[in-house]
């Protein structure tokens, strides 16, 4: 009887305490970030897209310093080498671009190989301040006229407060419009039933009035301006873009085309809000 007398009040106290904790969670549902589930404030995101031209014109340290100065939350990178040996870029031989840029900038990394090249890999990448929930590579079609295998790197990015969005880095073929139209169609199919709001960024090798942009991307909103992006020393054409959808989940705030000659492309930068 002595043990029962001590045990019953103790159990009652534990149960009462648990009920109080449960009630407080129901009344004020905090998540791991400290934000409530009812927090509907727009989330600002800075996006950068940059074709690196496999580092021929600059060092990885220079790229990293530029990235840190621009301070993006996510970056779509194209022409990213991993352990290649290019005669035109001997200062980059054997370097793992995506890993080193991640280390130098303090950002998380994702990489998609598109082809084997010169003893290593050539492809596209993503740098992000925020963790990836999932990443996926889709190889883009190569219809007649295509010169090189291309891909899209699709990443679900987890933001503070439990918000998520999908970020895509891509680099379309430089050959002919019909090839790029097929590649845009494949990307649209891949994200047709996507559960999160989407941003796609990259080198489309297409001008704004081309069929692949005018028709292929008509269900997307263009976040960036039509400022010329190529070549970087004397820009004459617009081929690098940032798009988003659906329109009711995003609000484009500003766009810029930072001037730098670290590559033959100019980067594209936008500030956008997720609603």
pLDDT per residue as tens digits for the range 81-90:
999 999 999 9
Task: Give the pTM.
Answer: 0.86
Q: Using the 8-state DSSP alphabet, how is residue 87 labeled?
A: T
Per-residue HEC secondary structure of 159-223 comes to CHHHCEEEEEEEECCCCCHHHHHHHHHHHHHHCCCCCCCEEEEEECCCCCCCHHHHCCCCCCEEC
Q: Which of 217, 207, 214, 265 is nearest to 243 (CA)?
A: 217
Question: What value does the mean pLDDT take over residues 221-244?
Answer: 98
Percentage of the chain lying above the pLDDT 90 cut: 84
The CATH-assigned architecture of domain 43-274 is 4-Layer Sandwich (3.60)
Q: Which residues pair with 197 in a beta bridge?
A: none
pLDDT per residue as tens digits for the range 243-266:
999 999 999 999 999 999 999 999
Question: What value does the mean pLDDT take over residues 6-32?
Answer: 43
Q: How many CB atoms lie within 10 A of CB 82?
A: 19
Domain limits, the chain: 1-30, 43-274
């Amino acid at each position: 009887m002595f043990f029962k007398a001590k045990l019953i009040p103790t159990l009652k106290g534990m149960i009462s305490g648990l009920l109080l904790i449960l009630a407080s969670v129901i009344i004020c549902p905090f998540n791991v970030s400290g934000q409530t589930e009812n927090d509907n404030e727009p989330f600002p995101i800075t996006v950068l897209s940059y074709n690196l031209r496999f580092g021929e014109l600059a060092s990885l340290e220079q790229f990293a310093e530029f990235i840190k100065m621009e301070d993006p939350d996510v970056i779509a990178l194209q022409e990213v080498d991993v352990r290649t040996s290019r005669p035109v870029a001997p200062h980059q031989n054997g370097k793992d671009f995506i890993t080193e840029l991640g280390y130098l900038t303090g950002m998380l990394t994702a990489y998609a190989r598109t082809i084997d090249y010169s003893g290593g890999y050539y492809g596209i990448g993503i740098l992000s301040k925020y963790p990836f929930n999932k990443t996926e590579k889709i190889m883009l079609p190569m219809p007649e006229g295509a010169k090189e295998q291309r891909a899209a790197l699709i990443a679900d990015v987890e933001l503070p407060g439990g918000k998520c969005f999908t970020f895509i880095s891509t680099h379309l073929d430089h050959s002919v419009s019909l090839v790029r139209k097929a590649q845009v169609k494949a990307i649209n199919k891949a994200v047709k039933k996507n559960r999160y709001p989407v941003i796609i960024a990259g080198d489309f090798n297409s001008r704004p009035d081309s069929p692949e942009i005018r028709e292929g991307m008509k269900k997307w909103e263009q976040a960036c301006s039509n400022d010329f992006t190529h070549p970087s020393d004397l820009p004459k054409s617009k081929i690098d873009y940032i798009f988003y959808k659906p329109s009711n989940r995003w609000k484009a705030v500003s766009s810029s085309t930072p001037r730098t000659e670290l590559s033959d492309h100019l980067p594209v930068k936008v500030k956008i809000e997720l609603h």
